[in-house]
Chains A and B, each alone.
Chain A
Amino acid sequence: MGSIFSVSSLAIAVGAISICSVGALAVPNEEGGHNDIWVTSSNGQLVTGGWDDTTGEVTNPTQRVFEADFGADPFFPFSGDEPGIGSDLIGSTLYLTISAGLGAWTGTGFELSTSMVSMSYGGQSGDTASGGFFNFLVTQGLDLHAEFALSGPGGEDPSSGLYLATFRFESAGFADSAPLWVVFNLGMSEADHEAAVVWVESNLLPAPGVMAIAALSAITGAGSRSRRR
Chain B
Amino acid sequence: MISNGESLEGACGHLVLAVAAAIAFDSSAWAQGHVSDIGLRVSTTGQITTHLITTGGISPEQRVFAATFGDTGISGFTANPGFDAIAATFAVGYRIGFNIRSALSVWNGGQFEATDPAGPLVGERLKLSFLTANVTSGAGSVPGFSLAVQSDGGWHRHLSFYLLAGTGTPAPDSGVYLLELELWSTDPAVQQSAPFWLVMNHVSSAEQQAAATAWVIDNLLPSPCPADIQGDGVVDGTDLAFVLGAWGGSGAADVNGSGVVDGSDLTIVLGAWGACQ
- Chain A residues with Cβ below 8 Å from B156 are 53
Q: If A53-B33, A56-B32 touch, does A139 touch B72 (CB 8 Å cutoff)?
A: yes
Q: How many angstroms from the CA of A213 to the CA of B82 in the assembled complex?
A: 42
Which of A79, A137, A149 is within 8 Å of B72, CB to CB? A137
Chain A's closest residue to B158 (CB) is A145
The answer to whether A86 touches B33 (Cβ under 8 A) is: yes
When each residue 69-96 of chain B gets 1 if its CB lies under 8 Å from chain A and 0 otherwise, what string results? 0011110010100100000000000010
Given A73-B131, A143-B158, 14 new contacts (CB under 8 A)? A53-B156, A54-B34, A55-B33, A56-B31, A72-B151, A79-B131, A81-B158, A122-B77, A123-B74, A143-B34, A144-B158, A145-B82, A147-B160, A149-B131
Q: What residue of chain B has the Cβ atom nearest to residue A139's Cβ?
A: B71
Interfacial chain A residues near B132, Cβ < 8 Å: 76, 79, 149
- Does B227 sit at the interface, judged by CB under 8 A? no
Question: Does B162 interact with chain A (Cβ within 8 Å)?
Answer: yes
Question: For B203, what are the chain A residues with a Cβ–Cβ distance below 8 Å?
Answer: none
Q: For residue B121, give the distance in angstroms from its CB to the closest CB of chain A.
A: 22
B35 touches A141 (CB 8 A): yes
Within 8 A of B (CB), among A54-79: 54-57, 72-76, 79
Q: How far is the CB of A116 from chain B (nearest CB, A)?
A: 15
Is B193 part of the contact surface with A, judged by Cβ < 8 Å? no
- Which residues from B are CB-within-8-Å of A56? 31-33, 35
The reply to whether A122 and B33 contact each other, CB–CB distance below 8 Å, is: no
- B273 in contact (CB, < 8 A): no
CA distance A53 to B95 in the complex (A): 22
**Chain B residues, Cβ within 8 Å of A86:** 33
List 18 contacting pairs A-B, 8 Å CB cutoff, sorted by A. Answer: A36-B33, A53-B31, A53-B34, A55-B31, A55-B32, A55-B33, A72-B151, A73-B148, A81-B158, A122-B160, A135-B73, A139-B71, A144-B72, A144-B158, A145-B82, A147-B131, A147-B160, A149-B132
Q: Tell me if A124 counts as interface (CB < 8 A to partner B).
A: yes
B95 surroundings in chain A (CB, below 8 A)? 75
> Could you tell me the distance in whole angstroms from the C-beta of A76 to the nearest C-beta in chain B?
4
A: residues with CB less than 8 A from B are: 36, 51-57, 72-76, 79-81, 86, 93, 121-124, 135-139, 141-145, 147, 149
B62 within 8 A of A: no
Q: Cβ of A136 and Cβ of B72 under 8 Å apart?
A: yes
A123 pairs with B77, CB closer than 8 A: yes
A122→B31 contact, CB < 8 A = no
**Chain B, 113-168, CB within 8 A of any chain A CB:** 130-133, 146-148, 150-151, 156-158, 160, 162
Give the complex CA separation of A149 and B146 in angstroms: 18
> How far is A92 from B148 in the complex, measured between Cα atoms in Å?
33
Q: Are A136 and B158 interface neighbours, CB within 8 A?
A: no
- B206 CB to nearest A CB, Å: 15
A145 engages B131 (CB within 8 Å): no
CB-nearest residue of chain B relative to A135? B73
User: Which B1-60 residues sit within 8 Å CB-CB of chain A?
Assistant: 4, 31-37
Known A-B contacts A56-B31, A122-B79, A143-B158; the reply to A75 vs B73 at CB < 8 A is no
Q: Which chain A residues border B4 with CB–CB below 8 Å? A: 141
| B73:A136 contact, CB within 8 angstroms | yes
Q: Cβ of A93: which chain B residues have Cβ within 8 Å of it?
A: 73
Inter-chain contacts of B151 with A (CB < 8 A): 72
Is the CB–CB distance between B33 and A143 below 8 Å? yes
CB A123 to nearest CB in B, in angstroms, measures 6
Residue of B nearest to A137 (CB): B73
Residue of B nearest to A51 (CB): B33
A55 to B84, CA, bound (A): 13
Determine whether the beta carbon of B130 is less than 8 Å from that of A81. Answer: yes
Distance, CA A107 to CA B186, complexed state (A): 39
Interchain CA distance A123-B31 in the complex, whole Å:
28
Is the Cβ of A123 less than 8 Å from the Cβ of B33? no
With A53-B33, A74-B148, A143-B34 known to touch, is A122 a contact of B133 (CB < 8 Å)? no
Determine the chain A residues whose CB is within 8 A of the CB of B150 once the complex forms: 72
A57 proximity list for chain B (CB < 8 A): 32
A86 to B31, CA, bound (A): 13
Write the nearest CB–CB distance from B19 to chain A, whole angstroms. 19
Q: Report the separation of the CA atoms of residues A72 and B133 in the bound assembly, to the nearest whole angstrom.
A: 15
Chain B residues near A80 (CB, 8 Å)? 131
Chain A residues in 8 Å Cβ range of B82? 143, 145
